[in-house]
Amino acid sequence: MSFTITGTGSYLPGKVVTNDDLTAFLDTSDEWISTRTGIRARHVAAQETVTDMAVAAARAALEDSGSTPEQVDLILCATLAGEYITPSLGCMVQKELGAHCPAYDLNAACSGFLYALDAAAGYFARGRVKKVLVICAEAMTRLMDWTDRSTCVLFGDGAAAAVLEPGEDLLSIHLSAAGNNDALCIPHVNGNCPYSGYDRGPASLMMNGQEVYKFAVSAMSKGVEKVAEEAGISLEDIALVVPHQANMRILEAARKKLGMPAEKIASNIDQCGNTSAASLPILLDQLSRQGRLKKGDLLALTAFGGGLTTGACILRWAKEKK
Taking alpha carbons only, the member of 312, 23, 265 closest to residue 171 is 312
pLDDT bin (cut points 50, 70, 90) of residue 86 is very high
| Predicted pLDDT at 192 | 80
| Predicted pLDDT at 322 | 61
208 is an active site residue = no
Q: What is the mean pLDDT of the chain?
A: 95
The C-alpha torsion from 153 through 244 and 318 to 96, rounded to 10°, is -60
| Predicted pLDDT at 281 | 98
CA distances from 175 to 201, 222, 243, 244 (A): 30, 12, 14, 14
**What pTM was estimated for this model as a whole?**
0.96
pLDDT bin (cut points 50, 70, 90) of residue 320 is confident
Whether the Cβ atoms of residue 203 and residue 186 lie closer than 8 Å to each other: yes
Residue positions counted in the chain: 322
What integer is the mean pLDDT of 248-268? 96
4-168 maps to which CATH number?
Answer: 3.40.47.10
Q: How confident is the model over 169-205, as pLDDT tens digits?
A: 999 999 999 999 999 888 887 778 888 877 777 788 8
274 is an active site residue = yes
| Predicted pLDDT at 195 | 86
Domain boundaries, given as residue ranges, for the chain: 4-168, 171-316
| Predicted pLDDT at 190 | 75
Task: Kindly state the greatest CA–CA separation across the chain.
Answer: 60
Contacts of 195 (CB under 8 A, 6+ apart): none
CB count, 10 Å around CB of 160? Answer: 33
110 is an active site residue = yes
What integer is the mean pLDDT of 207-226? 93
Percentage with pLDDT > 90 across the chain: 89
What integer is the mean pLDDT of 248-272? 96
What integer is the mean pLDDT of 281-303? 97
In this structure, CATH architecture of domain 171-316: 3-Layer(aba) Sandwich (3.40)
* 101, 110, 136, 272: the active-site residue: 110
pLDDT bin (cut points 50, 70, 90) of residue 206 is confident
C-alpha 215: how far from chain center: 17
